[in-house]
Amino acid sequence: MSVTTAPTPATSPETHHEATGLWSWITTVDHKRIGIMYFVTSLFFLGVGGIEALIIRLQLFSPENQLISAQLYNQLFTMHGTTMIFLVAMPQAVAFFNYIVPLQIGARDVAFPRLNALSYWIYLFGAIYLNVSWFVGAAPNTSWVGYANLTSTQFSPGLNVDFWVLGLSILGVSSIMGGVNFITTIINLRAPGMKLMRMPLFTWMTFVTSFLLVTALPVIAVALILLAFDRFFATNFFVASAGGDPVLWQHLFWIFGHPEVYILVLPAFGVISDVIPAFSRKPLFGYPVVVYAGVLIGFIGWGVWSHHMFTSGLGPIADSFFVASTMIIAIPTGVKIFNWMATMWGGALRFTTAMMFAVGLVALFTVGGLSGIMHSSAPVDLQQHDSYFVVAHFHYVIVGGILLGMFSGVYYWFPKVTGRLLSEKLGKLHFWTTIIGFNLTFFPMHFSGMYGMPRRTWTYQAELNVEIYNQLSTVGAFFLGASTLLLLWNIWKSLKSGEKAGHNPWGAPTLEWSIPSPPHHYNFPELPEVRSREPLWHDDEKAAIEAVTLKEPVTEPEMPNPSFWPIIVALGTTVTWALVMTGKWWAPLLGLAFTAVGIYGWAFEDPFKKKAAH
Amino acid sequence: MKSARSILGLLGLALLTACAGEYPQSSIAPTTDFADTIHGLYVTIFWWTMVILAVVWVILAYILVKYRERPDSPKPKQIHGHLGMEIAWTIGPALIVVAIAIPTIQAVFATQQVPEDSLVVEVIGHQYWWEFRYPENGGVITANELHVPVGTPVSLRLHSDDVIHSFWVPQLGGKRDANPLRQVPEGQDLKYNWIHFTAQENGTFMGQCAEFCGDSHSLMGMRVIVESQEEFDAWLADLTAGHPQTVTQSQALNAVPTEAGTGASLPGPALQEAASQEEAPAEDPAIAEGRNLFLANCSACHAINGVSEAGQIAPNLTLLGRRSSIAAGMLENNVDNLVRWISDPQSVKPGALMPGLEYQGGRPPVVWPAFNLTPDQVRTVANYLYSLR
């Protein structure tokens, strides 16, 4: 299991991993390569989800538009939401977990490297499976929340909902395994002296998020399995006419769905909690408070789910409880905002692109947080719920919080990953176009919602008089889309000819900046000893650490072998779920058999088998 | 600082006030006690959030200008935290939250209190139209245009016939879901959702379904007509009487008591007036033909009070000519639009269960066969339906 046991003289330096070629990526178990694969895949799906959003915006450009059909529109908005949450935001966070967390805690890999590869491949195959639905003309079409009983076979007889139920089930497997892996990694693989309360905030938020992953995903798994039974085996969990309860779906979905919001946003909070101190040249203000606030958000996040259901008719007592819990969760979130500002206060702020995105998050996430306060008030929510006002709200949270945080992370850690800096000039252009495009897209939605435009609508009547707001949103969306191309261009250009980064281009304090950029496949020749939260900001500690992290090892630490079993098991898992669609009881067994072969091979493979000349 | 305040002020005005005429579905132009309560709460919270936003943005702007790194910047003082500050910015927001929570919870209870002596209207959501029943007034039924009297407490009893819908007429107040009724063991009550309001202004208010309900969710509109008690009573009486001109004069007169006997509160003047209007001119043969075509082709699903009450699964078409819109608020009510709707409903409302002349585009939604009508016959039916006033 552990890959960080004392280095054993095993392989000679020439055999180490800089093996290239497709096969080396398919069989890799290196957390850094898996992180890169997660990142590239999620970036690809950001493009897919973005194109879906642009078609949606074109359709809404004018009232009573007939550009695309209602059926296609409903597939587009469903897939836009599903893609952005499950195929972009979550895996993008996992990409950072993978690449950064072992480096931040002084580990050579994650605790279960092959399981890590399996998580990635299941994510990839699940994502492909979900999108295959487009090519058979039956993309999911009942929104990303898939409210029962619209999803029943009676009202959704096609394959659309099947793809959704099974696709999300596959993806959930990947997320749960990822959560287990990172909890174990963070608990067990910290370098000497890396106490919990010395961990960088990004690692801390990964830790909290991982607990949310392993606890929240099973809830939606239950919901999805109940729905799958309703659809494939004619049970009636959500069928009202047979005594089932469609509102039960809403409870199950949101018991998962609200912690999911924090699964998405806490990693972004973690990123900027590292970025802001680095570029303020000051330690994070109130470190323990920011940590506890994150943990508290993780806990209270479990008790607020019914604020998504104020219109469902739960009665005044339940409404009041969820009003109170929802308002309470605003407090630790506010505390984080104030601590970030206090970190900057009195600092020497360097406005690198990473820092600008982090500051952008502080400013704009606040807007989303405050509109959230508005609909935490149940009666007010009765007006705002399921209107474009809510669409504005959660895009300020998701784009203004999560995406800006992730962009900040991209600019911050790109030099560590590639050894080259991203262009700051292009980066700043990217920042400003993102900010303008983002606000132009989503701010007007507050108005279209206030003036009565419900969400998930293929078109709107001219009488509503919300055309101008929709047009602004559409223009903004294309602006935002174009700005993202700037990031791609920047990555492409900087990969080829970016300025060389060196091991610590930002003068940042945490452990990942003590090793070469890009890191060796074994990360740390010897494990450093950590004595504080900002080890690289204390001259003596820095010298001691860099003495071991920058040297060339005499013998390389033993690292796990590449393995192709994870991709086999991932394929088997995906095929098993996908074959449920056929409705034949024996069909999934074929996939299970395939999976069993993979697990057998996996189990009897020696991960540390001595390599032949490779 | 000053300009920031004026920008915030402008923003505030735009998000707080809206001319109702300009924005017929505005959620910030309340016309009932229910909507008023919500709006008052919204305004309070809005200003609190603006204060917080101003504090955060102003301090942030100050920090960004004041503490940017300069060539001569000394190494910043390494401060790790300050307990007093942490307590301050925990307690401060907590107090604001309490200030918001108290009126919120009061409003939660106040808006869900069942008023005494309210007019109960049963609202049933269907893919993709609204059915309104008046159980206290003989169970009389109408569709897509709800009439309620001004100044009288009204209680909407919501449920759905198929999937979850949500009743939202913003000027009357917040939305509530219309859930499909869950079958319960004998002796237990069915669970309905309720909306209670007392309308304060006459007028016609627009609304639409707010919970995604399928292909034509975006086309599931409705109108609410708030009118004086007298107008409402007359309308209810006319609705109850329906259009008994289908039969001979004497049969029609005979029919009146039976219809009224089912419980209309005001059987008298309105009905007599209706009857006397019919007395004068002999019935237009084209109208009679339209009615026969309706009976032969439409009445399995649609009812018209006094003509045929068998069809219960599609909108009740009594007094259709008086409605301002058809197809759940999607088309202006006129003969041409009725012709379009009957001929090719899928082009107006994808996924609607209405068969149409033939399926054009989209997937055929139902097993029912297309209407066996010529275009001329469709127009005859449309003319007849439009004459139902």
Give chain B's mean pLDDT: 85
Interface check for B178 against chain A (CB to CB < 8 A): the answer is: no
pLDDT-derived band at B15 (thresholds 50, 70, 90) equals low
Interface check for B268 against chain A (CB to CB < 8 A): the answer is: no
Dump pLDDT digits (tens) for A74-99: 999 999 999 999 999 999 999 999 99
| Lowest-confidence segment of A205-209, B101-105, B249-253, B375-379 by average pLDDT | B249-253
The closest of A421, A433, A571, A437 to A497, measured between CA atoms, is A421
User: Residues in chain B, how many?
Assistant: 389
> Please, are residues A246 and A227 in contact by the beta-carbon 8 Å criterion?
no
Q: What is the mean pLDDT of residues A473-489?
A: 96
| Lowest-confidence segment of A492-496, A571-575, B9-13, B153-157 by average pLDDT | B9-13
pLDDT score for B251? 42
Q: Which of A30, A52, A109, A381 is catalytic?
A: A109
**Residue A317, C-beta contacts closer than 8 angstroms, at least 6 positions apart:** none
pLDDT score for A327? 94
Alpha helix stretches (DSSP H) within B166-248 = 229-241
Q: How many helices (H) and strands (E) does chain A have?
A: 19, 0
Dump pLDDT digits (tens) for A177-196: 999 999 999 999 999 999 99
- Record the tokens describing residue A532, joined without a space: 């504080």
| Residue given tokens 């024996």 in the structure block | A586
Three-state SS for B289-347 is HHHHHHHHHCCCCCCECCCECCCCCCCCCCCHHHCCEECCCCEECCHHHHHHHHHCHHH
Contact pairs from chain A to chain B, CB under 8 Å: 298
Q: How far is CA A94 from the centre of its chain?
A: 6
pLDDT score for B13? 59
Which residues, listed in sequence order, are joined to residue B196 by a DSSP beta bridge? B155
Interface check for B206 against chain A (CB to CB < 8 A): the answer is: yes
Q: Do A244 and B182 touch (CB under 8 A)?
A: yes
Three-state SS for A502-518 is CCCCCCCCCHHHHCCCC
pLDDT at A421 over 50: yes
Dump pLDDT digits (tens) for A132-146: 999 999 999 999 999
Q: What is the mean pLDDT of residues B19-29?
A: 83
Dump pLDDT digits (tens) for A233-266: 899 999 998 889 999 999 999 999 999 999 999 9
**Residue A220, C-beta contacts closer than 8 angstroms, at least 6 positions apart:** A168, A172, A252, A253, A256, A257, A260
Q: Print burial letters for A531-546: b (CB count within 10 Å at least 16), e (below 16).
A: bebbbbbbeebbebbb
CA dihedral for B157, B160, B163, B167, sign (positive or negative):
negative
| Lowest-confidence segment of A276-285, B73-82, B195-204, B224-233 by average pLDDT | B73-82
Which residues, listed in sequence order, are joined to residue B119 by a DSSP beta bridge? B154
> Please, are residues A276 and A345 in contact by the beta-carbon 8 Å criterion?
no
Chain A residues 298-317 within an 8 A CB cutoff of chain B: 311-313, 315-316
pLDDT score for B252? 41
> Please, are residues A276 and A354 in contact by the beta-carbon 8 Å criterion?
no
Q: Which of A38, A129, A144, A413 is catalytic?
A: A144
CB contacts of A367 in chain B (<8 Å) are 53
Question: CA nearest A284 in B: which residue?
Answer: B80
pLDDT score for B264? 38
Which residues, listed in sequence order, are joined to residue B168 by a DSSP beta bridge? B208
pLDDT score for A413? 97
CA-based nearest distance B211→chain A, Å: 7
CB contacts of B15 in chain A (<8 Å) are 446-447, 450
| Angle at CA of residue B28, ends B24 and B31, nearest 5° | 70
pLDDT at A582 over 90: no
Using a pLDDT cut of 90, give the percent of chain A over it: 89
Beta strand pairing status for B203-209 and B165-168? antiparallel
Q: Name which of A76, A349, A537 to mutate to probe chain B: the one with the most chain B Cβ atoms within 10 A of its Cβ.
A: A349
> Please, are residues B210 and B220 in contact by the beta-carbon 8 Å criterion?
no
Compute the radius of gyration of chain B from its Cα atoms. Answer: 28
Dump pLDDT digits (tens) for B308-366: 888 889 999 999 999 999 989 899 999 999 999 998 888 888 888 888 876 554 445 55
| Lowest-confidence segment of A583-592, B83-92, B94-103, B263-272 by average pLDDT | B263-272
- Record the tokens describing residue B255, joined without a space: 């029919």
User: Residues in chain A, how many?
Assistant: 614
pLDDT-derived band at A270 (thresholds 50, 70, 90) equals very high
User: Which ipTM was obtained for this model?
Assistant: 0.91
The packing angle between helices A316-344 and A287-300, to 10°, is 160
Question: CA nearest A387 in B: which residue?
Answer: B210
Q: How far is CA A461 from the centre of its chain?
A: 36
> Please, are residues A120 and A181 in contact by the beta-carbon 8 Å criterion?
no
- Other C-beta atoms lying within 10 Å of the C-beta of residue B253: 16
Which residue in the set A70, A142, A382 is minimally distant from B350, CB to CB?
A70
Using CB atoms within 10 A of its CB, is residue A609 exposed (0-12), middle (13-18) or buried (19+)? exposed
pLDDT score for A241? 86
pLDDT score for A9? 43
Helix (H, G, I), strand (E, B) or coil at B217: helix
Which residue in the set B38, B60, B179 is minimally distant from A246, CB to CB?
B179
**Residue B254, C-beta contacts closer than 8 angstroms, at least 6 positions apart:** none
Helix (H, G, I), strand (E, B) or coil at B209: strand
Q: Name which of A67, A323, A338 to mutate to probe chain B: the one with the most chain B Cβ atoms within 10 A of its Cβ.
A: A338
pLDDT at B266 over 80: no
Q: Which segment, A288-292, A579-583, B182-186, B277-281, is predicted with the most confidence on average?
A: A288-292
pLDDT at A613 over 80: no
